[in-house]
Amino acid sequence: MTTQHTTWFKAAPIAAFPENGGACVKYNDRQIAVFHFKQLDKWYATDNECPHKHQMILSRGMLGDQQGHPKVACPFHKKTFSLETGLNLQGEDYCINVYPVKVEDGFVFIGV
């Protein structure tokens, strides 16, 4: 689920994020999962909390593709979410917030 964004938060240098994987950054009291989907040459940011069991784990999730849509799967229970929209790709009611990402001067910024 996309949320309104007004501020760009300087998360970390590009090198802090694994290729085709994720890492967690903290903005105020929020944990945000940042993913570098190298195969697509794209960056994504979502809530780090999986809404299924309320665990802060999505940054360690597995990246993949579902019918052309990039996704992350929770490493605990394999619940999958769109990295573009935050929707649960298994048709369940819960979803995650997604945030815009930009890369400038070797740093990753997240719209919050």
Mean pLDDT, the chain, rounded, equals 94
Strand-strand pairing, 69-73 and 62-66? antiparallel
Is 1's pLDDT higher than 80? no
pLDDT in tens, 34-84: 999 998 999 999 999 999 999 999 999 999 999 889 999 999 999 999 999
d(CA 103, CA 96): 22
Domain ranges within the chain, ordered by starting residue:
8-111
Is 6's pLDDT higher than 90? no
pLDDT score for 97: 98
Adjacent-strand bridge partners of 43: 36
Kindly list the distances between the CA atom of residue 34 and the CA atoms of 57, 59, 72, 91, 108, in Å, as whole numbers in the listed order.
Answer: 12, 7, 11, 24, 9
Is 5's pLDDT higher than 70? no
pLDDT score for 88: 96
Is 2's pLDDT higher than 70? no
| Three-state SS at 81 | strand
Superfamily of structural domain 8-111 = Rieske [2Fe-2S] iron-sulphur domain (2.102.10.10)
pLDDT score for 68: 87
Contact 91, 13 (CB under 8 A): no
pTM confidence score: 0.93
Radius of gyration over every alpha carbon of the chain, rounded to an integer in angstroms: 13
Per-residue b or e along 53-84, where b marks 16 or more CB atoms closer than 10 Å to that residue's CB: eeeebbbbbebeeeeeebbbbbeeeebbbbbe
